Amino acid sequence: MKISNELLHYLSLKGITDPDDQRRFLLPRLTDHYDPFSMKGMRETVEGLRGAVKEHHKILVWGHADLDGIASAAMFKFALEDLGAEKVGVRIPSREVEWFGLIPDELRELKASGVDLVVTVDIGVTNVAEAALARELGLGLIITDHHELMGKAPDTILINPKLPQSGYPWPQLAGAGVVLKLVCALYQYMVGMSVEELARLRPHYWMFAALGTISDRCPLLDENRLIVRVGLDHIRAGEWPSLEIWLEEMGFEAERLTVFDLYSRAISVFYAAEPEEGVRILLSRDRGWLRARYAELKERAMKWQRGKQWMIEEAERSALHIGGMVISVSEEIGEAYLGTTTHALRERYNRPAIVLVPKGNLWHAECRGLEQTDLLGYLSQFESIFLTFGGHRKACGFTLRPENLEEFLRALEANPIQLPQSQDKEEIVFELGIEKDLKDWALLAPFGEGNCSPRLLARGVHIEEAGEGYRADGIPIYLPFALRPLPQPDGRFDMEYTVKADGTIRVLRLVPIN
């Protein structure tokens, strides 16, 4: 496909000026993957795992209860068994468990039951005391994570692209992205398989990594963009049974699947299941069982969707503006809606947001920041008030005891977050007529966190109703219902629009020309 000069100019306005960087953005290749062994600790991790497989050690994968952790655990379990490990166990504590990460009593039980090695996925970088306990017990421990390091690192084998001196070129991998890099390194080290061969023979690794990256709202830039693009291509092609049937049961056309579809509705079915069952679902090839189970989970997911809007409205009703942030403290918001309501508050007010809800004997909080702010760093000054705390610069969480809630709110008021002078979202509006072939603009996809769809402007176009649709200067367009009917039939307009991932022109705004 020929790349237009207009598209290259648009990329330069977004700060992507180097020709090779522009090619990697628009036409990424598997060979663009960074060397996994450039990540600090990778070689030691791979050597330890190879030894564990060869010695027939009993291995358990310990994951986080979100979809990033579920997809990571499924990918890693499959890879270890594919490379010769005997039946690999998976432990992902229920979302109802108040403890975050490794649980001390369970580590003791695992050692007593004969487990030789625990490998964490998408969790563990803050589990300093638990790593010390594992060492004391003689239980092997490898931590793979992508959350920010808070203070001292656990004294064990550890890979995390966000670690100081990690050496890895792209620190913003999801937990599943880190596991994908580990899996690539394992296949290279143990059987001499290249990344291209692995993607051809085991495409579901990229599919699972894409799910984790999208669900964790990691920026769709650099290597994340490559992972998601490759993974979505394989998902659309129906190359893994559990995901093919998942899309069918959720009512999506696989070939038109977008990141927004996954954000908005598709992934909810995995949160309707217990986390460990989510691993079983992803790895299953039993089509009959999958269809029946998805049908059951879909009912739960639809119930969750019906409650979502009410929960968002409750978060807005209870919202307080404290210390430059939007805070909702509510006993009415279900714990399952924490992330959704926090994200909605951030988008509604364009301010960092925190939602706190009771869970057991504690208050649990989800926090969402803005691109320009380090929310994790800001909240770290209150760490002595929290019981648990961790996450990323823009998305983190904590728990605290009820008696510490007022203390925390007073501390926020006394120490407001410093925000940039302008919090308005700046978007490039690029003037581009629609008479040109715009198919190359679809190469900007996948659109999502960190990579919004382009906002384009065509001046003086003639828009008319044509059958069941609309045309602008004779070219088919999608006109949202909110813009119908046309303010002046068969009129001329300045038309703000975008190009979707499938090449469709979607109108965003119309200004009539008199």
pLDDT digits (tens, 9 = 90+) for 56-75: 999 999 999 999 999 999 99
User: How crowded is the C-beta side of 405, counted as CA atoms within 13 Å?
Assistant: 17
pLDDT of residue 379: 96
Nearest to 346 by CA among 319, 323, 364: 319
For the record, the structure tokens of 211 come out as 């799910």
Enumerate residues 6+ apart whose C-beta is below 8 A from 133: 104, 107, 108
Helices (H), 333-404: 338-349, 375-379
How many C-beta neighbours within 10 Å does residue 285 have?
10
CATH fit for domain 5-14+33-282, picks 3.40.50.720, 3.40.50.300, 3.90.1640.30, 3.40.430.10: 3.90.1640.30
| Mean pLDDT of all residues in 15-38 | 96
**pLDDT attached to residue 428:** 78
Cα(187)–Cα(445) distance, integer angstroms: 29
Q: What is the CATH number of domain 318-414?
A: 3.10.310.30
pLDDT of residue 303: 87
The answer to whether the CB of 375 falls within 8 A of the CB of 352 is yes
CB count within 10 Å of CB 106 equals 17
pLDDT one-digit tens code per residue, 392-402: 888 999 999 99
pLDDT-derived band at 507, boundaries 50, 70, 90: very high
Q: CA angle, 247 as apex, 242 and 253 as ends, to 5°? A: 140
Sequence-distant (6+) residues with CB within 8 A of 125 are: 143, 145, 147, 148, 149, 150, 153, 154, 158, 160, 390
User: Positive or negative CA dihedral for 38, 41, 47, 52?
Assistant: negative
Q: What is the DSSP letter of 189?
A: H
Q: Are 355 and 315 in contact (CB under 8 A)?
A: yes
Q: Which residues pair with 91 in a beta bridge?
A: 62
Q: What residue spans define the domains of the chain? A: 5-14+33-282, 318-414, 429-512
Q: For 186-214, what is the mean pLDDT? A: 98
Q: Over the stretch 432-490, which tens digit does the pLDDT of each residue have?
A: 998 777 889 999 999 998 899 999 999 999 999 888 889 999 999 999 999 998 888 88
End-to-end CA distance of the chain: 38
Tell me what pLDDT residue 503 has: 84
Check if the beta carbon of residue 384 is closer than 8 Å to that of residue 404: no
C-alpha 250/C-alpha 299 separation (Å) is 10
Place of tokens 């997911």: 301
Q: What is the CATH number of domain 429-512?
A: 2.40.50
Contact indicator for 187, 80 with CB cutoff of 8 Å: no
CA torsion sign, 309 to 314 to 316 to 317? positive
